[in-house]
Structure 1
Amino acid sequence: MSSDPWGRVDETGTVYVRTADGEQVVGSWQAGSPEEALAYFERKYEGLVVEIGLLEKRVKTTDLSAKDAQAAIDHIREQVDAHHAVGDLDALRVRLDKLVELVEARREERKAQRAKQSDEARHAKEALVAEAEELSQSDQWRAAGERLRALVDTWKGLPRLDRKSDDELWHRFSHARSAFSKRRKQHFAQLDAQREEARKTKERLVAEAEALSNSTDWGVTAARYRELMSEWKAAGRAQREHEDDLWNRFRGAQDVFFAARSSVFAERDAEQAENLKLKEELAEEAEKLLPITDLKAARAAFRNVNERWEAIGHVPRDARPKVEGRMHAVERAIQEAEEAEWRRTNPEARARAEGLTGQLQAAVDKLRGQIEQARAQGNNARADKLQRELEGRQALLDQALKGLQEFGG
């Protein structure tokens, strides 16, 4: 009989291993000496030690899944429990038990990590939804539309949540985008309708202007042309592709009439030359109103100049564009000043601008706080992501502040 601290071979060739539960039969050995039998089963034990060591290393240093790790542990445990090796099998069981604990700890750690990532993704998507719902009420059609498209790209880059939560947030996000698109379509549809109405009105005015172009009733026709011009200005702008063509036809019809009248009144050329001199003086007088510092006074003064201008009569045709252009330049300056004054004093537009600015400022302040918190927690990845979002929101705020300055705010 031969033995060592962990096993023995009896006189029949039966090999035993010593465990905490007493001796267990390892197997029968008839191929050689008892020493060879113990050596053989000790090598099997060393093989189990090596296998457990490798598994411990894999669990600690690789991303081996908990399921695969547990399967490997179970496989080795079956071999240990089969008692087909000579050595400290109880020590191997202890190592396997500790390995199970480690695998479970890693499982919980990964579970917590997934929960954290999911929570971060949820907060990020909730923030996107909140911004999209805010933008859905914006009248800044281009800026808000571009920002919503950017939010979609950001959304696509975030991981999915559980199906119910993800679907609910996406529904709100999608609804906000749809609401904005619907409002924008309604706005431009209304604008198109107004321009279409202007086109129809101007086509009617063009038709009448062209019908009058061959009239020889100089006084009545000239007066009607002035009325048509007033109606033209009141009609508003047509679509861009129609506006220039309609204007050229309208002005062309007037030119035909006034050219014919000028040929008939050739003898009045001297009078027209004098008219030109007077109108140039009035244009110079009007130009002295610039730059406009007192809109009300400038408007009244220009009206006075314009009344005298209208009373003078026609000037030579080739000189008309230049002298009229001088007056039109002053008129445009007054109109621009009136529009600026209207924008500055329009309480509804001002309130809308102030409201948007306040919302954007609050969002910027909130983002800055979140960035500081993320930095303090060492979460630089989240902080960098929030920083990029802050830059986009800050750009919108800067734009809103610039618009607010137009109201004197």
Structure 2
Amino acid sequence: MSTDPWGRVDDDGTVYVRTAEGERAVGSWQAGKPEEGLAFYRRKFDELATQVELLEQRMRGTDLPPAQAEANIVKLREAVADAHAVGDLGALAGRLDSLTELVARRREEVKAARDHARAEAKSVKERIVAEAERIADDTTHWKSGGERLRQLVEEWKAAERIDRATEATLWKRLSAARTAFAKRRKAYFAGLDEQREGVRAAKERIVAEAEALADSTDWANTAAVYRDLMRQWKSAGRASREAEDELWTRFKSAQDQFFQARSAVFAERDASLAANAEVKEQLLIEAEKIMPVTDARGARSTLRGILERWEAAGPVPRDMRDRLEGGLRKVDEAVRRAEEAEWKRSNPEARARAQDTVNQLRRSIEQLEARLAKAGAAGREKDVKEAEEALAARRSWLQEAERTLAEFS
């Protein structure tokens, strides 16, 4: 029989834990020495203690909600009460009692914080209403003012609710401010006819210049002018809807005529680059023969030579550029991965770790085989089954570990 201050293993292998209520059987140990059994169940206790400690840290170091904390305490209390472990379970239960008291205090703190938040919310909503009233009375920045009013409404919705009467009074003032702003803005835009006429005249000038350039063959400079005309168009403002639609149709038609002609010329130019593309097609075929990469250094040397000829071949049509460049990039990435793999295979630290893993698994298998033989001789079918399952898993792990180690050979 083996013992420690909090438990013991009886002669028949039964493991007991000592509690304030007396001894309680927590399991049995047949796989080795009694001391090993006690150590196993002490580790179970250590795992429980770790969970309690982690909960203590979370409750004292984070804003863990009281309901969630209480649920965790209940779960841990059940785990401690029914624990198949050897250790001072009473002390763990006492620590959980302390955490229960902390939860109660935390609930009071949360309530106080909620009351404080509501007071803060009242102050926030009073500030929102005051700002909305200032915007309604003073601002002439209609776009930014309207956006700010929308933001103030979102801020109102995001704030905590306050008492119903105060909420209703403040909301009525906020709504009145938004209505007053909308009326002032509507009156302002009612007087914009003269301004819209000025926009129409400015866009007439832009369209006339665009139409004059439609037949240009100075591709780069004219494209830049069209981009500038587009910027002018956007910054000029809006004319009436009818004028805006008619002018935009003319402006777009002029642009389309120029850019379609430019595209046709570029397409013809791309056709003249077909010979370069043929060279690069052959170079890509040559590069792809490097894969799969078996000699990283040789592959890099070969690819370097191909890259030099690739650059010398010159540009290709735009519709072929991405495919050709992408194909060559895939080969380069394959060579790089092979270089990285070669470096890993030559890394002595990684090989040592792989060897250590293999050694540990082999020792574990030897121990399990001995346990299996002992259980079989004693006729313990359950232990035999558990040992066989553990052996199957570790043999599978060993095969994988040995394959990894072989990669360093």
TM over 0.5: no
TM-score, normalised on structure 1? 0.38
Larger radius of gyration: 1
TM-score, normalised on structure 2? 0.38
